[in-house]
Amino acid sequence: MRALLVLAGVVALALAGCAPHATGGAKTSTPHPSASAHPTSTPTPTASPLPADVLFQITVTATAANGAVATLVETVHAPVAATDHQSGDEAQLDNECDSWRNAFPNIKYVVGTVTSTTKPGTAWDADAGQVAVDMAGYPVWSGDQRPFQAFCASALAVIPGMARAVSPVGGNDPDRDGGWGIYRYGFGVPTDPSDASPSPGAGGVVLSHCSIQLGAAAHDSVFASAWPGTAETDNGLSCFFGGNA
């Protein structure tokens, strides 16, 4: 069964538990979009294409109130019939995510990694602030991360560090029936859900330089093809792409 963990000292949004978090009506990592939110970022040119099995890569800069600067990168791989740790991943899904086995037709698995590095000369300590990470469907996490508000949902990145996420998705059309293209991915700063218009720096962190690079493996998704021009940056509080369902 899914375990619920509320983090002390973090004012977090309510999550939808183990339900797939695909749409704007059930976003799982903060913030609440405000009236001033609008796409402001453009993809950053890269010198070389992504590996053939990578759907996309999202990059953002996080600046803490104490001046610490970190770069966070979320890399999501194309769905596979089985992961390289399939038995362990399924056991973790059974433990943390209710009803995942019956959620989608033709279940496949997307694997994502989140890496975070700090700018030389700065240190991201416990008081610097927190950044939550969104990942498709019913994600289970391992590595340098902590549960955000519940297991089988968004996670808080440990900075610096590296985390791994695995999520089952519908294995047919990427834009239908739980396919990877209907979900939201990226980063958000935890904010107070009672604040209708949170200000930049809420939670002690400002996000900037939000960008996405699509890989060749993402070509089957009509939704994903539009993501580079539709980032949700929300006044420095988020760097999200997707959530099309």
Question: Which of 47, 56, 51 lies closest to 75, judged by CA?
Answer: 56
Is residue 16 domain-resident? no
Residue 197's pLDDT is 63
In a domain, 35, yes or no: yes
How many domains is the chain partitioned into structurally?
1
Q: What is the dihedral of CA 175, 176, 178, 179, to 10 degrees?
A: -40
The pLDDT of residue 103 is above 70: yes
| 104 within some domain | yes
Q: Is residue 147 part of a domain?
A: yes
For residue 200, the model assigns a pLDDT of 65
Q: Is the pTM of this model over 0.85?
A: no
Q: Where residue 245 falls among pLDDT bands split at 50, 70, 90?
A: low
Q: List pLDDT tens digits, range 14-49.
A: 333 344 444 333 333 344 333 334 444 444 444 479
Give the whole-angstrom CA distance, residue 146 versus residue 3: 13
Q: How far apart are CA 67 and CA 162, in angstroms?
A: 22
**CB neighbours of residue 121 within 10 Å:** 8
**What integer is the mean pLDDT of 45-56?**
83
Residue 133: which domain range? 24-44+52-221+231-242
**pLDDT tens-digit readout, 218-235:** 999 999 999 999 999 999
Q: Give pLDDT tens digits for 134-188.
A: 999 899 999 999 999 889 999 999 999 999 999 999 999 999 999 999 999 999 9
CA 81, 242, 74, 211 torsion-angle sign: positive
- The answer to whether position 13 is within a domain reads no
Closest CA to 179 of 106, 82, 241: 106
For residue 205, is pLDDT > 50? yes
Residue 69 has a pLDDT of 96
